[in-house]
Amino acid sequence: MIALKGGRREKSMTGYDPTPAIWSTEHLRLAIEAARVALWSWNVDSNQFTMDGAGFDLWGIPWSKTVEFEELSSHIHPADRDRVRAAFVATRSVSGSYEIDFRIIAAEEVRWISARGQGADAGIVDRLMFGVFLDVTGRKQAEEGNELLAGEMSHRVKNLLSIASSLTSMTSRSSASVEEMTRDLTQRLSALGRAHDLIRPLPGSQGTATLLGDLLTVLLAPYDDQGAFSGRIRVAVPRMGVGERSATALAMIIHELATNSVKYGALSCAAGSLDISSTVEHDTLILTWAENGGPEVSEVPTMHGFGSNVMLRSVSRQLGGAVKYDWQPAGLVAELRVQRALLAV
């Protein structure tokens, strides 16, 4: 630590000076601004904070000479507020460096802040503790994205295992020999792999837009019985281009609907069939998913699982639309509405 006595810079007890003489106050200020670090001091007796301009900007509150701890706490996200208050009090009795991450609400915007300092009154001067605030919103959003991706991948693996089992059962019903079953099952699993590739987001700009009909055909090929019930999946849509981003979103939606149909709906039995048609209303494309001949629907199932939530998010955020379910006794009729302009992106 550097101590200032009588205008002289003195080295720490170890004799090591971490701040070379060429680093002026102005140099340190420029470094702090470049790192987007906000400085604060905390009077442990009065519970008042003093912050630099970057600190007030980060918290989204007007500058003042001091700010009460309770006033700062009122801007902390309600889900984090009690935890942060308790953590700050605990820092005075726990030695070593600390780091507290929490959310604040600044001008209706949720931000993640990391508060860092030294505990057990280390470095306290005139009853003032010192530390920094860092804006870690980007890092936290990336972590949340990774958690969502991990959950989605786990969900997909479980679905793929279930689909593989259903495809095996489907193939066994229409195959006359082990060799025929092996060939047909291999083809279906290969088609499932191709369909799964369409669901995986691609980095950068790879390829151009595909046709809507081609996309739906590739996605649904693994579920169409090639034996006695060949052609039970029928697709009738206009010739229309689909962009890469929309293709990924649409693939996730169709994959989720097909997965549920293989498990519980028309595609779970040999007599079931599926028709996909479309109409256009102004700037909106309406895709209709109509199942028939499956197990009778006696009650409306709940659609609140992980896969259903991912599907709804894809429809609303990436395609600017919505999905509506109509559970008929003969099977599900789902209406998917998407913005044509977003479909080409």
For residue 238, give the CATH number of its domain: 3.30.565.10
DSSP 8-state secondary structure symbol assigned to residue 206 = -
Q: Are residues 188 and 337 in the same domain?
A: yes
Domain span at residue 277 reads 140-343
Name residue, tokens 């209709």: 288
Residues 68, 156, single domain; the answer is: no
Could you report the per-residue pLDDT of 301-313, keeping only the tens digit for each? 666 554 566 667 7
Q: What is the mean pLDDT of residues 241-254?
A: 76
Q: Running DSSP on this structure, what letter comes out for residue 265?
A: S
Same domain, 43 and 111: yes
Q: Assess whether 151 and 297 both reside in one domain.
A: yes
- Both 241 and 256 in one domain: the answer is yes
3-state secondary structure of 106: strand
Q: Which tens digit of pLDDT belongs to each residue from 107-137?
A: 778 999 999 988 888 888 888 889 999 999 8
Please indicate, yes or no, whether the overall pTM of this predicted structure exceeds 0.85: no
Residue 83 lies in a domain: yes
CA atoms of 279 and 192, how far apart (whole Å) = 28
**Is-contact 290 303, C-beta < 8 A?**
no
DSSP label at residue 268: G
Beta bridge partner(s), residue 3: 10
Largest CA distance in the chain: 97
DSSP label at residue 285:
E
At which of 71, 102, 135 does a domain end? 135
9 pLDDT above the threshold of 50: no
Cβ(75)–Cβ(106) under 8 Å? yes
Q: How confident is the model at residue 8 (pLDDT cuts 50, 70, 90)?
A: very low
27 token code pair: 């140099």
Asked which of 28-37, 162-171, 210-219 is least confident by mean pLDDT, the reply is 162-171
Same domain, 166 and 308: yes
Please report whether residue 17 resides in a domain. Answer: no
Please give the Cα distance from 164 to 156 (Å, whole number): 12
Read off the CATH number of the domain in which 106 is found.
Answer: 3.30.450.20
Q: Is residue 125 part of a domain?
A: yes
> 104 in a domain, yes or no?
yes
From 46, 147, 143, select the one nearest 103 (Cα to Cα). Answer: 143
Does residue 88 belong to any structural domain of this protein? yes
% pLDDT > 70, the chain? 76
Whether the pLDDT of residue 20 is over 70: the answer is no
- Whether pLDDT at 80 is above 70: yes
How many structural domains compose the chain? 2
